[in-house]
Amino acid sequence: MTEPTRHIVSILVEDSPGELARIVGLFSGRGFNIDSLAVNRTTEPRMSRVVLVTRADEKVIEQITKQLNKLIRVHKVIQHPQGTLERELVVLTLRCQNAKSREDIERICKLTGARTITYTAADFTVELTANAAKVDDFIELCRPLGIRQMVRSAPVAFGKPGESAESDTFEATA
């Protein structure tokens, strides 16, 4: 039996009430788990893009794709390959107990490309936008400093320009 792997699936769907519920219902009704989910409008006014992450073997992903394509208002389902443009946002509030911890926070931010949003004498709030692996690494670097609060977005993803047939318009869909 193969180990479930992480898959990013992008779904171009009509922007109408209940469509997200139908997609989520498809997953839950068949016992598939959604690790994370992001939804927003596209450049086409009548369309939304649902980007979700799930862990499954190839047979299950094939089944998920077929089931999603059967939903009437779904226009396109894309399973993103490894190397897809992917970004997550993480915002952390870190303890800043003394000059050394402040230096450590600044060093980590410089090293990772994170940005300070706000700070006080007691804490720093920083943000990083990166792929999932870099966000994971950033969190682990920050953990010893004392994370007071953390929020992490679901990934957004789409194919690299020139490599993807992905489009937000009806005309480009089959």
CATH number at residue 75: 3.30.70.260
In a domain, 55, yes or no: yes
How much is the pLDDT for 170? 46
* Number of domain units in the chain: 2
User: pLDDT in tens for each of the 174 residues of the chain?
Assistant: 567 889 999 999 999 999 999 999 999 988 889 999 999 999 988 999 999 999 988 888 999 999 999 999 999 999 988 778 899 999 999 999 899 999 999 999 999 999 999 999 999 999 999 999 999 999 999 999 999 999 999 999 877 776 655 555 544 443
How much is the pLDDT for 173? 40
Contact 171, 46 (CB under 8 A): no
How much is the pLDDT for 55? 92
Residues 9 and 70 in one domain: yes
Residues 75 and 90 in one domain: no
Give me the residues paired with residue 12 across strands: 49, 76
In a domain, 74, yes or no: yes
Residues 68 and 106 in one domain: no
Q: Where is the domain boundary, 80, 95, 118?
A: 80
Contact 143, 94 (CB under 8 A): no
Q: Where is the domain boundary, 45, 61, 80?
A: 80
Residues 57 and 76 in one domain: yes
Kindly report the number of other CB atoms within 10 A of residue 14's CB atom: 15
In a domain, 91, yes or no: yes
> How far is C-alpha 123 from the chain's CA centre?
27
- This prediction has a pTM of 0.79
Among residues 97, 131, 96, which one has the least CA distance to residue 112?
A: 131
Residues 103 and 152 in one domain: yes
Residues 72 and 90 in one domain: no
Residues 11 and 75 in one domain: yes
Kindly report the number of other CB atoms within 10 A of residue 90's CB atom: 21
Residues 74 and 90 in one domain: no
How much is the pLDDT for 163? 60
Residues 62 and 122 in one domain: no
In a domain, 89, yes or no: yes
Q: Which residue has the tokens 């600044």?
A: 106
Q: Which residue has the tokens 């992001």?
A: 38
In a domain, 166, yes or no: no
Contact 54, 5 (CB under 8 A): no
Residues 102 and 148 in one domain: yes
132 is in which domain, residue-wise?
A: 85-156
How much is the pLDDT for 164? 53
